[in-house]
Each structure stands twice: as C-alpha cells, then as structure tokens.
Amino acid sequence: MTDHRAARTDNRTHTIMQATLDLAREAGYAKLSIEAVASRAGVGKHTVYRRWPSRGLLFLDAVLSLNTAGLDHPDTGDIVADLREVMTRAAALLGQPPWGPLYQDLIGEAQHDPEVAAALNRRFIEPQTANTLARLEAAKDQGQLAPDFDLDLAFEILSGPLYYRLLITQQPLTHAYIDRVLQAVFAGMSPRPQTR
Amino acid sequence: MTDHRAARTDNRTHTIMQATLDLAREAGYAKLSIEAVASRAGVGKHTVYRRWPSRGLLFLDAVLSLNTAGLDHPDTGDIVADLREVMTRAAALLGQPPWGPLYQDLIGEAQHDPEVAAALNRRFIEPQTANTLARLEAAKDQGQLAPDFDLDLAFEILSGPLYYRLLITQQPLTHAYIDRVLQAVFAGMSPRPQTR
DNA sequence: CTGGAACGGCACGTGCCGTGTTGACAAGTG
DNA sequence: CACTTGTCAACACGGCACGTGCCGTTCCAG
C-alpha cells in the first residue's frame, strides 16, 4: 500500500531529524556534518540529500520540529499579563538548552544562507508575529490600547531587546528584565520630569 | 632595523585583512577560505595562521578595521537629536554594502564561535554601549531626562529593534523607523486613552 | 512474476583544513 | 666579504567532509 511507503518515509525523515538534534546538542552546530548525521541515523547520505538540499535547511527543520509545545497567545482579557506570559515562556525556551543554543545557531546560519533566513521567517517568525499582533489588535478593539497605538512598533520594541540579549550580549533573559521591557512600553519610560 | 621589520609585518597584516574584505564582498563570508585569502594576498598560509588562530577572528579584525569613521556621539545639548544622529549613521552603515552584509555575517559567526562573540562584544559592542550610556548620563545630569530614567534599558530598547530588523526580518532601517523608535521611547507610546 | 522506487553501503574526485619542510632572500654581525 | 638569524612563499602532506555516482538488496504495485 501507499500508506506503508509513506509511513516508512516519514519514519526515516523523523529519524534523521532526531539524529541531527542529538549531534547538534552534543557537539554544536558548527561541527555538524551530513556524514555524521547519516551515520548516526543509520542511513545513507543519499537518503539525507534526497530530503534536504543543505545542512542549514535540515537543521531548520530539525529545530522547528521541537516547537510542538507552541507559543500560542492566551487571552485572559489583560493584554499585559498575556504578553508577559508569552514572553516568559519564550525566554524560558530561549534561555536554556536545548532550544536556546540551537535557535541561536539557527539564526547564525540564517545570516550566511538566504534560504535559511527566508524559511525561518516564513515558518516561524511571521506566524509568531501574526499571533502577537492579533492579540494586540483584540486588546485595541477592547479599548485596552489607544486607537493610535502602533502595534507593529510595539511588537518590535518588545521583541528586539530579547533578541539583542540573546544574540549580541548574551545576557540572561530574566523575568525581571521582561517586566522592565513591558513596563517601559505600557507604562512609559518617564523620560522627563514632565512629558513634552 | 627593527622598524623596517615591524613595518613589513604591519604591511602584510594589512594586506591580508584587505584581501579578506575583498573576497568577503565578492563571494560572501560563507565561501571565504583561508587558502583563498592567502592566495589573494600573495602570501603563504603560514603567514595568515601566524597572525590569526581562526577564520572567524581574522574576519572580525578585517571588518572592525573598517570602522575608522567611528560612531562617536555628538553633544549638541539635545539628547534626542544626538541619538537620532548616531542611530541614523549606524543605520546608514548597516543598511547597505559593504558594512551591512559583513556585519551581519560577523554576528552570524559569533553565534557559532564563542571566541568571536566575546571579541565582538569586547571590541565593538561594549565601547559603543559605553559611549551611548555616557551621553545619556550627561543628559540626565542636565535635567533632560528624569532622575529615575532607566538608561540601560533605554539603550537596549533603542538598539534591539534595529538589530531585530537587521538580523531577523531583514527589513530596511529607514530614517522614519528610527524616528518611530525614538518617539516611542522619549515621548511615550500612549498605550491607553489615559495613562495609568 | 516483474518492474520500479527507495534504500544502505561504498568509493570517487574535489576543496579546504592545519601542519611540516624547503629553499630564497634580506638584515644585522664579525 | 662571509656568516648567522629570521622571515617568508611555495609546495606537499594526512585528514575530513563535501556532493555524486554505482551496486546489490528490499519492498511493494501492477
């Protein structure tokens, strides 16, 4: 039957991705080779190349397959609490193994490989962004945000600092830091004794 | 004389870095090999390895050597205008060749190689950060910013979105976008009809 | 039973790695 | 003018991973 074939194929695909994750965790993405992946998976190199055109896209698939937990937005009615919840969950994922280093390597690879960058945006960044923007939109409709509140900018101001810490300074993404960012965006930074 | 030797050595160092930049511009960092650099520079591989322990650190030196223009902070007395000036200059550098793609690749490499990450922070990120923080500090002393204004957070909220666009979504860093970010931090985002 | 597709295993030629060796050449020394 | 010393380009090396062929096997589909 065709089902059996498809099942076998899926099994191999899954085995290869699992081997990719195992090796990436053990030795890091930098030392990940397709030969090693194939060997670890008990699979011929052809079987890998038949499914993925490059190491980067294989790694992308493998890492994104971990995201089954999801970062869907809750809607308790309190936009700030909901954002805090999502950001905290994201920080918990990014801040520690196995996700953190893998995601970091993935973004690193995206800087060299345009295909990886495009796929990462399409399959992960954009859905997550749309998710958050939808939640912000709802909050605006409910009057929790001013009608002229700049949702896109808010999202980037909330996300940017987290990525900056993850990718550049590699400082920890603590609960307290998330609160400070949220506070700044939603309660203002009080730049001057009296606002202009 | 020893001076002649030192001069010769410096010349070779400079020649190698220049060849590195040329090749990186032509073919991208991904295809940059030390063999190719040595060949282009008319130099033996030993001469490269004697100066740099890895491709990443060579690339770091080469890219940072371009930054002679500098991003020093002006001090016109108006903190927002000064920040806009610096951010605009930074965006002009990052947004277009040759700096943009090279800096992007450099950060990408830093995600795989801890030594590159550490050196990048120490030699570029931290000085720039200190620079901006000193300017913010001065503004606070002059009463342009409230005494409880969170300088560190402000810096990360200003920088984060720019890096987010550069590294993740790869959207352009326009003048208008910089204004929106500055506006959000220094004039508030007016989250609600009346601020809490 | 037969054809086709996918497979593991193996070997190939290529490119780059990082290292070792050699001989040419220049700078300072007696 | 030899002579030492140090630096260099050039070449060769073993090792590894690349991406691509080919082989014989296995497993359904018709």
Nucleotides on chain D that have an atom closer than 7 A to a protein CB are 7-12, 16-22, 27-29
Q: Is the minimum distance from the CB of B88 to strand D below 7 Å?
A: no
The Cα B23–Cα B40 span in angstroms is 8
What confidence tier does B5 reach under pLDDT thresholds 50, 70, 90?
A: very low
Ranges of beta strands (E only) in A126-167 are none
- Among B59, B85, B107, identify where a domain stops: B59
Cα of A22 to nearest chain B Cα, Å = 17
Q: Indicate the average pLDDT of chain A.
A: 88
pLDDT at A8 over 70: no
Average pLDDT over every residue of B122-129? 93
Residue B120 has a pLDDT of 95
How many Cα neighbours within 13 Å face the side chain of A48?
A: 27
The DSSP code sequence of A72-123 is PPP-SS-HHHHHHHHHHHHHHHHTSTTHHHHHHHHHHHHHH-HHHHHHHIII
Q: Does B119 touch chain A (CB under 8 A)?
A: no
Answer yes or no: is pLDDT of A50 > 80. Answer: yes
Mean pLDDT of A77-98: 89
Confidence band for B100, pLDDT divided at 50, 70 and 90: confident
Among B126, B158, B138, which Cα is nearest to B75's? B138
Residue A163 has pLDDT above 60, yes or no: yes
Host domain of residue B30:
2-59
Q: What is the CATH number of the domain that holds B79?
A: 1.10.357.10
% of chain A surpassing 70 pLDDT: 89
pLDDT reported for residue A52: 94
Is residue A156 one of the residues assigned to a domain? yes
CATH number, domain containing residue B16: 1.10.10.60
Tokens linked to B146: 């409230």
Asked if residue A130 belongs to a domain, the reply is yes
For the segment B123-148, the average pLDDT, to the nearest whole number, is: 91
Judgement on whether residues A139 and A115 belong to the same structural domain of the protein: yes
The per-residue pLDDT for B149 is 87
pLDDT attached to residue B17? 92
Of B189 and B76, the structure prediction assigns the larger pLDDT to B76
HSE at residue B79, side-chain half, CA atoms within 13 A, is: 25
| A17 CB within 8 Å of a chain B CB | no
How many domains does the structure of chain B reveal? Answer: 2
DSSP H helices, B32-174, are 34-41, 45-49, 55-64, 79-94, 99-112, 114-120, 126-141, 151-164
- Residue B9's alpha-carbon distances to A43, A71, A166, B56, in angstroms, are 50, 54, 38, 21
Structural domain includes residue A138: yes
Same domain, residue pair B106 and B183: yes
CA distance B189 to B176: 16
Tokens of B173: 């860093």
Contact (Cβ atoms closer than 8 angstroms) between residue A43 and residue A123: no
* C-alpha distances out from residue B127 to A12, A124, B74, B131, Å: 49, 33, 15, 6
> Chain B contact for A160, CB < 8 A?
yes
- Among A110-119, A160-169, B8-17, B180-189, where is mean pLDDT lowest? B8-17
Max Cα–Cα distance, chain A, nearest Å: 75
Give the residue from A18, A63, A5, A15 showing the smallest Cα distance to A43. A15
pLDDT band at A196 (very low <50, low <70, confident <90, very high): very low
Mean pLDDT score, A52-63:
94
Q: Are residues A92 and A141 in the same domain?
A: yes
> Rounded to whole angstroms, how far apart are CA atoms B189 and A149?
7
Span A140-153, pLDDT tens digits:
999 888 888 899 99
Closest residue on chain A to B195 (Cα): A187
**Nearest chain B Cα distance for residue A139, angstroms:** 10
| Cross-chain CB nearest to B189 (options A143, A150, A168) | A150
The average pLDDT across B116-126 equals 94
Q: Which residues contact B130 (CB under 8 A, 6 or more apart)?
A: none
Of A56-70, B74-88, B182-196, the range with the lowest mean pLDDT is B182-196
Which of residues A187 and A17 earns the better pLDDT score?
A17
B16 and B71 share one domain: no
CB–CB of A195/B187 below 8 Å?
yes
A39 Cβ within 7 A of any nucleic strand D atom = no
Model confidence at B166, pLDDT cuts 50, 70, 90, reads very high
Is residue B100 domain-shared with residue B153, that is, in the same domain?
yes
Calculate the CA dihedral of residues B87, B92, B93, B98 and round it to 10 degrees. Answer: 170
User: Furthest-apart CA pair in chain B: how many Å?
Assistant: 75
Q: In this structure, how many other beta carbons lie within 10 angstroms of the beta carbon of residue A72? A: 11
In angstroms, the separation between the Cα of residue A44 and the nearest Cα of chain B is: 26
Among the partner-chain residues A29, A188, A192, the one whose CB lies closest to the CB of B145 is A192
Same domain? For B55 and B71 the reply is no
CA of B115 to C1' of D19 (A): 31
pLDDT at B125 over 80: yes
Q: Is the Cβ pair A190, B148 closer than 8 Å? A: yes
All residues of chain B having their beta carbon less than 8 Å from the beta carbon of residue A192 are 144-146
- Note whether B82 and B46 are same-domain residues: no
Helix (H, G, I), strand (E, B) or coil at A47: helix
Contacts of B192 in chain A (CB under 8 A): 144-146
Q: Is the CB of A196 under 7 A from strand D?
A: no
Whether residue B195 is contained in a domain is answered as no
Give the pLDDT mean for B126-149. Answer: 91
Would B155 be classed as within a structural domain? Answer: yes
Does residue A78 sit at the B interface (CB-CB below 8 Å)? Answer: no
- Closest nt by CA–C1' to A43: C8
Rounded CA separation B140/A192 (Å)? 9
pLDDT higher than 60, residue A108? yes
A176 and chain B: CB distance < 8 Å anywhere? no
Q: State whether B172 and B93 are in the same domain.
A: yes
Which is higher by pLDDT, A196 or B59?
A: B59
Mean confidence (pLDDT) of chain B: 87
Torsion of the alpha carbons at A189, A131, A125 and B167, rounded to the nearest 10: -20
Amino acid sitting at position B167: L
pLDDT at site A99: 86
C1'-nearest nucleotide to the CA of A35: D17
B121 lies in a domain? yes
List the Cα angle B78/B190/B139 in 5-degree steps. Answer: 20
Distance CA A60, CA A103 (A): 9
Residue A168 CB lies within 7 Å of the nucleic strand D? no
Binary contact (A157, B29; C-beta < 8 A): no
